[in-house]
Amino acid sequence: MQRKQKKRTEKETEEQKEIRFSMIEVIEIKEKKDFVAFVEFPFKLYKNNPFWVPPMKAEELTVIDKKQNPVFNNATAAFYLARIDGEVVGRVAAMINWIEVNSLQKKKVRFGWFDVIDDVNVSKALIEAVKDFGKAAAMEFMEGPVGFSNLDKAGMLVEGFEEMNTMITQYNYPYYSQHMEQLGLEKLAQWVEYEIKITSFEESPEKVRRFGELMLDRYKLKVLHFTKTKQILPYVEQMFTLLEETYNKLQTFVPIQPYQIKHYKEKYFRYIHPEFIKCVADEQGKLVAFVIIMPSFTQALKKANGKMFPWGIFHILKAQYFNHRASFYLIGVHPDYQNKGVTAVIFNEVQKLFNKKGITVVETNPELEENDSIQNMWKNYAHRLHKKRATYTTRL
pLDDT, position 230:
84
Domains and CATH numbers, the chain: 2-192 (3.40.630.30), 199-359 (3.40.630.30)
Q: Is the pLDDT of residue 351 over 60?
A: yes
In this structure, is the dihedral angle defined by the CA atoms of residues 141, 392, 121 and 95, taken in order, positive or negative? negative
What is the mean predicted confidence (pLDDT) over 64-78?
A: 93
Q: Is the pLDDT of residue 76 over 60?
A: yes
pLDDT, position 5:
39
Backbone angles phi, psi at 155, to 5 degrees: 95, 130
Alpha-carbon dihedral of residues 377, 382, 386, 392, nearest 10 degrees?
10
- Side chain identity, residue 209: R
The string of pLDDT tens digits covering residues 139-148 is 999 999 999 9
pLDDT, position 387:
97
CA distances from 150 to 196, 253, 314 (A): 24, 6, 30
SS3 content of the chain, % helix, strand, coil (to 5): 45, 25, 30
Backbone angles phi, psi at 111, to 5 degrees: -130, 145
Q: Is the pLDDT of residue 2 over 60?
A: no
Task: Give per-residue burial for 269-306: e unless 16+ CB within 10 Å, then b.
Answer: eeebbeebbbbbbbeeeebbbbbbbbbbbbebbbebeb
Q: What is the mean pLDDT of the chain?
A: 88
What is the mean predicted confidence (pLDDT) over 273-298?
A: 91
What is the mean predicted confidence (pLDDT) over 258-283?
A: 81
User: What's the half-sphere exposure (Cβ side, CA atoms, 13 Å) at 385?
Assistant: 12
Per-residue pLDDT band at 19 (split at 50, 70, 90): low
Q: Confirm if 193 and 386 have CB atoms less than 8 A apart.
A: yes
Least-confidence region, from 225-239, 244-258, 305-319, 325-339: 244-258
